[in-house]
Amino acid sequence: MKKYFGTDGIRARVGAAPMTVEWLSSLGRAVGSVIQNQGKPIVIGLDTRESSAMLGDAVAAGLAAQGHHVILAGVLPTPAIAFLCKHNDFNLGVVISASHNPYHDNGIKFFCSDGFKLSDEVESAIETAVDNIATIPLAATLGKIESDHSLAQTYAQHCQTFFAPQALAGLELVLDCAHGATYRLAPALFNDLGATVHSLHITPDGRNINAACGATDLRALQKAVKEKEAHLGIAFDGDGDRVMMVDGDGVVVDGDELLWILAAHQLAEHKELPGVVGTLMSNLGLVEALAEKQVPFYRANVGDRYVLEALQERNWFLGGESSGHLLHLHYGTTGDGIVSALLILQAMVKARKPLSELKNGMVKYPQVMINVRHAGGKPDLSSAAIKAAVTDVERQLAGHGRVLLRASGTEPLIRVMVEGKDASHTKTYAETLAAQIQTILADA
């Protein structure tokens, strides 16, 4: 167990430990002492939270104090930083973002020069260094801090390579950018590719990121797609590493269905797919659809870093999460909402079918997830009372569904998921179980 790093970097409420200017400056120094200075700069990108620039400056100051040259790239999606690390010869990439969390939270994550996230060993070394920062001397020669906002265009040009000019001509799209890191880049990119673009939530004010919009709340997108009679809608989260979609009828197409579309397209185009990695949350319908195509499926722990680890261990390239984190290692090293959306559109263009038809090869099991908030710490999900409540639901499912309890790695929440063939019964089971767990945790 690490002290500060969770499943996706470090996150906390701004102003509360460890998400303070003072601590992030120390963190920057700690990172600067652990990461070897190879004469290559470190790039820092931000989302649109009111605290992001302040926290990014603090990290930059700490890195410069250890002699590193820092480039401030401004507001950029998380996957853009990963791409720039790999293709623009940066020594390290830093992202200041709390992804899908509300504005009052913030976080930090890092990418190595190869575009992948830091290993557990490096994260542990950074934690040790930050706890002993008083013993680490400043560099004899301080690093410089510069700004370069042109890097956004470098990433945009990379995204455009998936299509010929005007390849999306005739498509009418609604984009929901969640008032987040994609708010400038995504509408311009899809417009440049020829699509007719209607943009939602592209006026960040520092506090409206993810607020009733984006990949975590699709209601506004569903409404807009129907009102505009668009072909489909695309929603990104606050830092742009996940995507969700809405078809022309306003029906949500989630990460499992998008993963199925990518898998089916891969099989149609290349006749071969060694396997697909999902997570404990992946729908049984995805597993069954892939099995019909004789494609192996592996469930990793929830979190895109665990999906990536499983892909690398098996030498596979395609995986993802229900939440819309999709990884296609032929096209990038981390979840990328914009690239994933472009790959789905590519499948539509090649198949000449709407999104609603492409997803039909997979029949989803009704799945209900309820978040149960707790007081903090590490709740005991293996207690006798919780086990008994879960066993009762599993008995009622009679082998035709699943129950999964999972503690969030970024918020004080227990995710209660129930999956079954009957939607009404599944909803009832999930609500009952969530209420029981809420009571059990309150009484503990």
Residues annotated as part of the active site = 99
- Count of positions (residues) in the chain: 444
Dig out the tokens for 13 from the structure. 């409420």
Structure tokens at 419: 């999956």
* Rounded Cα gap, residues 62 and 259, in angstroms: 40
CA atoms within 13 A on the CB side of 57: 6
Among 154, 156, 182, 317, smallest CA distance to 242 is for 182
| Nearest Cα residue to 182 out of 48, 71, 49, 86 | 48
Q: ∠ CA 166-172-173 to the nearest 5 degrees? A: 105
Amino acid at 57: D
Which stretches of 39-168 are assigned E, i.e. beta strand?
42-46, 70-75, 92-96, 105-112, 145-147
Which runs of consecutive H residues, i.e. helices, occur in 149-237? Answer: 151-160, 185-192, 219-228
Q: Rounded to whole angstroms, how far apart are CA atoms 438 and 431?
A: 11
At residue 298, the 3 state secondary structure works out as strand
Beta carbons of 323 and 215 less than 8 angstroms apart: yes
Residue 151 CA to residue 139 CA, distance in Å, equals: 28
